[in-house]
Amino acid sequence: MGISLEHQGGEWYNSLPRRGAVYDLVDTAMSGADTAERLRAVTALGKSDDPRAVRPLMDLLRDADAEVRLSATTALGQLKSGRPVDELIGRLRDPGEQAVIREQAVVALSAIRSTGAIRGLREFIDDKDEDPALRSYAGNRLKGIGPW
């Protein structure tokens, strides 16, 4: 019997051996002693170009600390993986989220440039119930990445 995707609530990767610098960064980002230490780890994960950093950074989009959420949003844009698109769209569409984090979600989605990211940005721009200034910002970012 192989590893089930349902194992540990879908977090099957937690059962794998954790070795290497990326895992040290993940541990620090998730549960570091102070915010500055966590932010340094999140920034390093974004610059790591390591696909193993994506899932933990996605989890950090729901962190209680707004600075950590902002840094995780930025880091996911740097990694340019399509996996966090739905979560980034969730940050963008959350009216209770800080404006700077919502703006950074636009930046991250435009950096990812996947079909889902572009579709999410287009839907956001077309939603008249959303913040007009943020919709305009998203429209300008979308124009900057070419015809879709």
Tell me: the pLDDT tens digits for 21-63? 899 999 999 998 899 999 999 999 999 999 999 999 999 999 9
Q: What is the CATH number of the domain that holds 29?
A: 1.25.10.10
Q: In this predicted structure, what is the pLDDT of residue 25?
A: 95
Specify the long-range contacts of residues 39-47, CB closer than 8 Å, at least 24 apart.
39/67, 39/68, 39/71, 42/68, 42/71, 42/72, 42/75, 43/71, 43/74, 43/75, 45/75, 46/71, 46/74, 46/75, 46/76, 46/77, 46/78, 46/79, 47/75, 47/78
Number of domains observed in the structure of the chain: 1
Looking at the domain assignment, is residue 11 inside a domain? no
Q: Provide the whole-model pTM.
A: 0.84
Looking at the domain assignment, is residue 4 inside a domain? no
Looking at the domain assignment, is residue 5 inside a domain? no
How confident is the model over 61-120, as pLDDT tens digits? 999 999 999 999 999 999 999 999 999 999 999 999 999 999 999 999 999 999 999 999
Note down the domain range covering 111.
18-143
Is the pLDDT at 1 greater than 70? The verdict is: no
